Structure formats: C-alpha cells, structure tokens
Structure 1
Amino acid sequence: MAALPRAVTQAAATVTPATAARALFVARRDGRRVPSALVQPADCLEAYAIQDATLAAIGTVGGWKVGARAGQTPTCAPLPAEGLLPDGAFLTGPAWRLRGIEVEVGFQLGVDLPPRAAPYTRDDVAFAVHAVLPVIEVVETRLADWLGAGPQAQLADLLSHGALVLGQRQPFEPAWFDLANVETVLRFGPQIVAHTVGGHPSPDAGALLEWLANHCAARGAGLKAGQVITSGSCTGLLFASQGTKVQVEIGGLAALSVSF
C-alpha cells in the first residue's frame, strides 16, 4: 500500500476530537469528503467525543441511532434534528452520494431519561417510550474512504448517518420491543428489493434502548422527550440509484417513502 503524503500523516498526528469534528461538520455542510486519515479516533471514547463535538457544531439532537450485531456491544450516535425528515421527503444534491437505505423501527420518547446514579431498567425505558413509528435511515458518509476508514472512524462520523425519514406514529406497546417476527418490504420503484421476516441482527430492541439510556446518562447527556430512537436495520443495507422512489412497509405500521 502506498504511503500517505507527509502533509496528511503530520496532520493526522495532531488531530484532536475538536478538529476532527470541525472537519466532519464542514464536510456535512458542504457535501464534501474528509480524508479518512484525519478522522482516526484512538478508541470508542474518542469517537464518541468527536460525535459530541460534531453535534455541538450542527445544532440540536433530534434523536439517536443504536444497534448491535448478535453478541456484540451496541454502538450509537446522536442524530441532528435538522436531518429528521417527513414521509415523502425528496433528497437531492452533493450530500446524497451513497443513498444507502435501511428499514427500521423507531421509538419516540414521551418523557426525559436524564443522567442519574441508578441504572435505567427495561421497564424504565418502556415507560418512557410514547410512540412507535416506521423510519428509513439514509446512510451517507463524510469519509473519503468509507469502507477502508475502519469502524472507529465510522463511529465518529455518526455511524454513517445521513438522514432519518419519519413515518406515521402510533401508540407504543411493549410487544414492539421484540423485532424477531417483524415483516418488512422494501421497494425501489415498483421492484421489491427486500422482503424479510425477523431480519434484524439483534431483535431485542428493549435491550438496545436500555443500553442506550445508560450510555447516554454516562455521557452526561441523557435522552429527551420527543427524541426518536432508531433501532437498526431489518433489511440490511441496500443502495438506491439517483431518480429512485424508495417505498417501505413494516407490518403493523403505516407505509412511508423517500425519493432521490
């Protein structure tokens, strides 16, 4: 593998969470890409520090994404409120290059879960959730070498979050914490590109939200009423072409769409 230019390696050696976050913020704002060598956190703690600094530059936190592969510790990222979009949103411009699509079940909080000494329990989280809704996460990256950047850089880049399209809310029932039998249909135009039943890699959404509540409390932020928490893809990740209308159906919830 060819060596990185001296200027890049020197800059990478002096990057701090604040400067990495600034680079990611500018890239997000301008629809550009950051050399992956400039966003290489030493560990998860530094990646989360970059997330916090990035959101401080972007603005209000409108929600969170959390997910895990089977048997692995979850990871999460705050979601900018400006990127929570209504059903039927039309996305165009230089920011939308990957157009990655993930079909997910979202949970909206009705009360705050602030930092506290006692750990939050599953019952605490279930009490706090006010509504369930279908969502489409649009996956994008600010990293020039997205696949080669590594998991810590992707974690710092808000876990490759681009936007979250929100469907119709309905009252939450605890049974929604079990995603093992959720049926989803994903269409690109008229074509069905994914049809899954129980396709989520970590289907206990209650465990994911419990972990998130305690993780955010430890970060000193907590979770706030009105925030939407998205719980990982039920269909895997697929990529839409420019000009595609993406349509989603999740059993028991209203249909929704996004277009490029």
Structure 2
Amino acid sequence: MDLSRQRELARHLADLRREGRQQSGLEQRLVPPDADTAYRIAQMVEEELGWDVVGWKIAGMKPGLQRQLRISTPIYGRVFAPLIKTSPASVEHIKQCSPIPEVEYQARLGANLPPRAKPYTVEEVGDAVASLHPGIELAECRFVHDAAFPPMPAIMADGSGSGTIVLGEPISDWRKRDIANQEVVLNCNDAERRRGSAAVTNRHRPQGRPDHLHRHADGHAAAEAGRDLRRRFRSARNRKRDLRLDGQTQRAAARGHQRKPGINIACLLSLQIISRASCRTES
C-alpha cells in the first residue's frame, strides 16, 4: 500500500469521524495490509483532524477475543480531546457511530514513560499514574458491522474503536484498594444490564490489576507512536460484555461497592444518550 493510498484513507477516516458518519465496507485498495501500516495511517488521521491527543485506549486484551479478532497482541487507539467528557454527560446518539458503552478504569499519567528497550516494571508504571478513575467509553467505528465489514487493520487505522470517554471522579488511594475485585454494574434506564469485575475479565493477567494492563499497552503505544506518554489518559476495559444501544434515550450508570472493611469504594457516573428529536410549530 503506497503512501498516497495511506493518505487517502487517512483523509477519508478523518472526514467520517469529523462528520459522525459510517459507511459499509471499504475498497480493497484502501485496506491496510498489516498492523504497522494501520497504525501509520491512524497517526495520519490524527494529523488530518488536527485534534489534540490526550490519551490512549486499549482493546483486545483477552486471548479469546484476540483469536476472534485475528490479532496476536492487544491493540490501541488515540483518545482525542474533544471526546473527553466529565460525568454526568450527555451525547447525541445520531452523532455517534454505533456506540457501545464500556465500563472502564481510566488512568491519568503524571510522569513520562518514554519509549525504551527495557520493559517497564509494574511498580514503575504504577508510580507514573497520577490518578485512577471509573469511566464509560462509547466505543465506535466508522464501518457498519455488516457483511462488508473490512479486515481488522482497517479498524485499527480508524482508532481501534476509540470514541467518547466519560470520566468519573478519581479513586482515592487506588493502589491500596482491591480494584481488581471491585464489582461494577452497568444500568440503562435504571435497569441493570451488565455486572462484572476487572479480575474476572482480565484473569489471564496477574491479579487483573489496571497497572498490568498499562504496562503492556503503554509500552506498545509509545513504541509505535514514537512519543513519550505523559499526563494522558489510559483506559482499560472492565469487561468484554458490552451493551449495544438502539438510539432511544438511554442512561448508563456504573456503580461499584467493595464490601471489605477499610477499602470500601462507592461511585456513580452517568451518561445520557439522546436520540434525534424533531420539533414542529404551527402558527
């Protein structure tokens, strides 16, 4: 795939993201042949958009999901400044691209993690985390999930499902708390739809701790993007099972409460997704 076609796809993906549009399929000549090309195009999309990158998202952490997606490592995407919101937040469904709400832990880095040959230790990554937050991501994709859905490199070029991030209040003393076993509940319109924990979702990772997720993905993203990771958000999904929205007015909330003396956590964050509404007046 020559440079002109890479740039053509980057411009097209940037236009789709900027305009909140999707399309069915992708011309074969524009499908990236591999992950390296896909990430190079994703960086071009950033340049075309001209939006500040304030963080990175991780996807495909579980081996089973990797097999399903036909990838061998977790994948990452950029988090753009215009898509960061603070709870409580509202978005218009029509401007999202098949949004899937995912309950996450989101880390703000307060120290540099520059690319290096030696892998970072868990302790080093943990020391670099300034704060850890509960959050909801509206994962989205510029391609309609239909029979013409393109191969995974095209999705990676689009940002690996990166979308709107709703940020909750920081969790105090997060390193002293049992984050991995923290139970999280996803409610929509006051009805419980999903329940889970990081320990269950990431049981193939040691202790299911968020900093283990950051250790892998931060180094991968830094090496690919060739930049320091500093004062940015890193989001790690809390579970695989997500809820697809149907375009009606929805409210999603994540609640967590750990029933252990001295480390209780109770938090609430909300996101309202509003369907398109029309108004007609008569004289």
2:228 to 222, 232, 256: 222
The equivalent of 1:9 in structure 2 is none
| 1:246 pairs with 2:252 | yes
TM-score, normalised via structure 1 length: 0.84
Contact 2:24 2:146 in 1 (8 A): no
The equivalent of 1:258 in structure 2 is 271
Deviation at 1:207, TM superposition (A): 2.6
SS at match of 1:115: coil
Aligned sequence identity (%):
26
Mind listing any 5+ residue stretches in structure 2 that lack a counterpart?
65-71, 258-264, 274-283
The equivalent of 1:162 in structure 2 is 163
2:241 to 236, 240, 252: 236
TM-score, normalised via structure 2 length: 0.78
AA of the residue aligned to 2:12: A
RMSD: 2.5
Contact 2:78 2:162 in 1 (8 A): no
Residues 151 and 217 from structure 1, CA distance in 2 versus in 1: closer, same or farther, beyond 3 angstroms?
Answer: same
AA of the residue aligned to 2:174: E
Aligned equivalents of 1:153, 1:174: Cα separation in 2: 37
Q: For structure 1, which segment, 248-257 or 105-114, has the greater mean C-alpha deviation from structure 2 after superposition? A: 248-257
Q: For structure 1, which segment, 81-90 or 207-216, has the greater mean C-alpha deviation from structure 2 after superposition? A: 207-216
Paired residues, what number? 247
| 1:62 pairs with 2:24 | no
Contact 1:177 1:206 in 2 (8 A): no
SS at match of 1:161: coil
1:210 to 183, 206, 215: 215
Deviation at 1:231, TM superposition (A): 0.7
Q: State the 4+ residue runs in structure 1 displaced beyond 6 angstroms.
A: 12-15
The equivalent of 1:18 in structure 2 is 7
SS at match of 1:149: coil
Mind listing any 5+ residue stretches in structure 1 that lack a counterpart?
1-11
Deviation at 1:88, TM superposition (A): 1.6
The equivalent of 2:154 in structure 1 is 153
Residues 34 and 222 from structure 1, CA distance in 2 versus in 1: closer, same or farther, beyond 3 angstroms?
Answer: farther
Contact 2:99 2:140 in 1 (8 A): yes
Deviation at 1:233, TM superposition (A): 3.4
Contact 2:22 2:97 in 1 (8 A): no
1:44 to 26, 35, 48: 35
Contact 1:103 1:235 in 2 (8 A): no
SS at match of 1:158: coil
